Amino acid sequence: MRNWTPQTLYDLKPWVFIVVGALLGVGMMLWSLWDGLWTVWRGLLCLGGAGAAIVGGATLQMRQDYRAKSKWRRDAPP
């Protein structure tokens, strides 16, 4: 079966979510601290950034767990 995405892109996607989410969350917090007030949009962008980072981390963890339990991985010679 042919892969839908190249392996490097597949491996990189969760890290992109984590990095972009962290930058967005921290950036919105710093911007709000600099201005001295929270706006609705900054709050939503901070929440979205935190959500993206969480999704990226969960994706990495699920892939690690799946690979550890994979039949192909267990049957492979050491």
Which are the contacts of 24, defined by CB distance < 8 A and separation ≥ 6?
45, 46, 48, 49, 52
Residue 73: pLDDT over 70: no
**pLDDT score at 71:** 67
In the chain, count H helices and then E strands.
3, 0
**How many angstroms separate the CA atoms of 75 and 18, rounded?**
32
pLDDT in tens, 24-72: 999 999 999 999 999 999 999 999 999 999 999 999 999 888 877 776 6
pTM assigned to the model: 0.78
